[in-house]
Structure 1
Amino acid sequence: PDSYFIMYFFRFRSICRLQRLQAHMVKVLLEKVGRAGVITLNRPKAMNALNLTMTRLLYPQLKEWETDEQTDIVIIKGAGGRAFCAGGDIIAVTEAGKSGDPLAQDFFREEYVLNNTIGMYKKPYIALIDGITMGGGVGLSVHGRFRVATEKTVFAMPETAIGLFPDVGGGYFLPRLQGKLGMFLALTGFRLKGRDVQRVGVASHFVESQKKSVTLCGTLYFLGDFDWSFILVILCIFANLHLSSPLHPSPLLSSPLLSSRLFSAGSVEGILQNLNTDNSAFAKKQAETLARMSPTSLKITFRQLEQGAAMSLQDVLVMEYRLCQACMRGKDFYEGVRSVLIDKDHSPRWSPATLAEVSDHSVDQCFSPLGETDLRL
């Protein structure tokens, strides 16, 4: 009997270990908990960076839950504790773009379709943006009905530093933030942290990280049928957790940024002039930051936000697909990724090297329709 017990014990332990390994290998965990569809981004070592495989798992599951009568809400979160999702798998896209691999088209196309699905979702979509939330992670969260930040949240759209632009619908939500805050965030890649993410409207609610995992999730999983009273219940839960979280003064909200004075101009050059003629330390720091960014990306981003302010999310995503494919055809994206993510020397050699050398015609071409290969939503 003892030998049988030992045999079964080791077999059971092996099965458990195999299950843990399999769970570790699955990049997205999809499960039902009560009446909630729960998505866990499961690449903690890569800070849950989004790749094409993950997108292809998420999209059909979201569509299925949207019509499932046994699913009332969808909750998305990240594994590992460090990040919700730190962005897209940019290095893989870079390699594909260099070699002509269709991944450079497929990744952005399917990611933007997913972003639009989240923006149009018919059921409550709750993103728990606990930890680093950048690039592709913003696209998985910001278009949803509820975005819950914690004291560990770090939000940024740092794409101009790698020769890209704040995509995944950045042209839609950024210009709709107060004043010229969106333009500031888009051009500089400034990092919002903690409660500031909620204060400026990127997150809809704020809770402490500990309460998110215990009180919030435990309640949301087992709420009843979906109707308008259900929405009110969710809002009350968020409000109670939000009010019980301690308030701390925000340096960002007392900065000259919110006057919109420095980032109100008709061009990137005009913004730089504002910054260079201002005597504040804040303005000087932002001017230094912009000087490190891709001049082409700065001009593309400025026009993206100016146009996106009057466009629907769908039209913005179509525009951004044109822009990302223009970046794939250019030079700065590959140089930026080399400088920031591969060699990490942070000394990019931009081409063109100055704002003055980036012609209006070259920017116009980036926004040109792609004909049959345009994104269709």
Structure 2
Amino acid sequence: MTSPNDEILLTRTGRLGHIVLNRPATLNALTHAMLQAIGEALNEWEHDDEVQTVLISGAGERGLCAGGDIVAIYNDAQEGGGEAASFWADEYVVNAKIASYPKPYVAFMDGIVLGGGVGVSAHGSARIVTERTRIGMPEVGIGFAPDVGGTYLLARAPGELGTHVALTGGMFTGADALELGLADHFVPSEDLVLLARELETVPAADAIARFAGAAPPSALAGQRAWIDECYSADDASEIVARLQASDHPDARAAASVLVAKSPTAVCITLESLRRARRLGSVEEALNQEYRVTVRLAASSEFMEGVRAQVIDKDRNPRWSPATLPEVDRAVVESYFASLGPRELGLSAHTIAPAGGADRSRS
């Protein structure tokens, strides 16, 4: 079983259905066709009694997935954004499908796992990180906001760790992912091939238990005190002020990182996280994210961010407005207004607990 152009490799061996993201040259960046193929495979395997476990992994040595194909989305936005909206609609349906999948959904979160890569992994029921994992939601750096259900997951991380991760857009380790509630198990990367083979014949929980071990300490966990103190504010300017006034050098460094991001995207991201805390399901969060992403994709901030980071690569985005205090609260709120007939309209089949999907499925 293969998808068009072999961007996705689909195999069924024994009790295992295996999805391999197969664009290693682009760090397995997701295309629309890839997402559609994942959705079709999940639908088929859900009703196939021979498939007892689903596994997703990435081809190559660099990582699972670097997210969506930003260049394609940028080019589409210049032409009106119709394809991008369809891309996100299908992507979010897949994210919701993973979160409520009735069979064990195992994700090898090895190497780089960013943006959309989080969406196809962190909603699973058995999320495995390694010593090579580098995970993040870097959207604020391109004038965008975390999506793929990421606001739902990060809003439920301990204390304000998720707020720190989202607003700075940094990358964190596998141990940090466990602390954030984005992962469940630590397995050395050298054992992943053996674990995949084991999943072909052994129930997922039993197979994982044979290889899972203790993770290294989480650096993020050790920073919890200043993170919780500084990020508890609901105003981005106040968060920056607290970070800058902190006695902790890592807090002041975080302030410098945060103020370099798109002020509009930072304010929208903070509002997204605070609203997501009050939502009862990942589907509701995805509906909210869809409203935001459709509007952000049409904004000058997104176009400028992608230009500076990906197209021209001058790393010198000219944000407008240029500072957090200049961001109009009414403008931020406008991103969350109903899209009317264009609403995504996902409905919650289950109320997912903190950390994403029902962990009992593993």
- TM-score, normalised on structure 2? 0.91
Q: Distance in 1 between matches of 2:340 and 2:3?
A: 42
Larger helix proportion of the pair: 1
| Aligned mate of 2:208, from 233, 238, 262 | 238
Counterpart residue type for residue 332 of structure 1: E
Answer with 28-37 or 194-203: which moved more: 194-203
| Aligned mate of 2:7, from 23, 27, 33 | 27
Cα deviation digits, residues 62-96 of structure 1 (max 9, x gap): 01101111111100000001110011001101110
The correspondence of residues 6-21 of structure 1 with structure 2, limited to 5 A, is: none
The correspondence of residues 238-257 of structure 1 with structure 2, limited to 5 A, is: 238-243=208-213, 248-256=216-224
Counterpart residue type for residue 177 of structure 1: A
Question: Are residues 1:271 and 2:251 paired?
Answer: no
Aligned alpha-carbon RMSD (Å): 1.7
**Offset, 1:24:** 11
**Offset, 1:259:** 5.6
What percentage of residue pairs aligned between the two structures are identical?
40
**Offset, 1:101:** 4.6
Counterpart residue type for residue 338 of structure 1: R
Q: Distance in 1 between matches of 2:343 and 2:219?
A: 42
**Offset, 1:187:** 0.3
| Aligned mate of 1:44, from 18, 24, 40 | 24
Q: Distance in 2 between matches of 1:358 and 1:273?
A: 16
Q: Which residues of structure 2 form unaligned runs of 5+?
A: 347-362
Q: Distance in 1 between matches of 2:14 and 2:330?
A: 55
Answer with 135-144 or 99-108: which moved more: 99-108
Is contact 1:24-1:42 (8 Å) kept? no
Structure with larger Rg: 1
Question: Are residues 1:356 and 2:325 paired?
Answer: yes
The correspondence of residues 122-133 of structure 1 with structure 2, limited to 5 A, is: 122-133=102-113
**Offset, 1:242:** 2.4
**Offset, 1:198:** 2.2
The correspondence of residues 281-320 of structure 1 with structure 2, limited to 5 A, is: 281-311=249-279, 312-320=281-289
**Which residue matches 1:9?**
none
Is contact 2:234-2:270 (8 Å) kept? no
1:315–1:251 CA distance, 2 compared to 1 (3 A): closer
**Which residue matches 2:50?**
70
Q: Distance in 2 between matches of 1:168 and 1:235?
A: 26
Q: Distance in 1 between matches of 2:240 and 2:3?
A: 49
Q: Which has the higher contact order (CA 8 A, sep 6+)?
A: 2
| Paired residue total | 344
Counterpart residue type for residue 16 of structure 2: A
- TM-score, normalised on structure 1? 0.88
3-state SS of paired residue (1:325): helix
**Which residue matches 1:156?**
136
Answer with 197-206 or 48-57: which moved more: 197-206
3-state SS of paired residue (1:212): helix
Q: Distance in 2 between matches of 1:302 and 1:184?
A: 10
**Offset, 1:152:** 1.0
Cα deviation digits, residues 114-173 of structure 1 (max 9, x gap): 111111111110011111000010000011101100111110100000000011001110
Q: Distance in 1 between matches of 2:225 and 2:68?
A: 29
Q: Distance in 1 between matches of 2:141 and 2:61?
A: 26
Q: Which residues of structure 1 form unaligned runs of 5+?
A: 1-21, 224-229
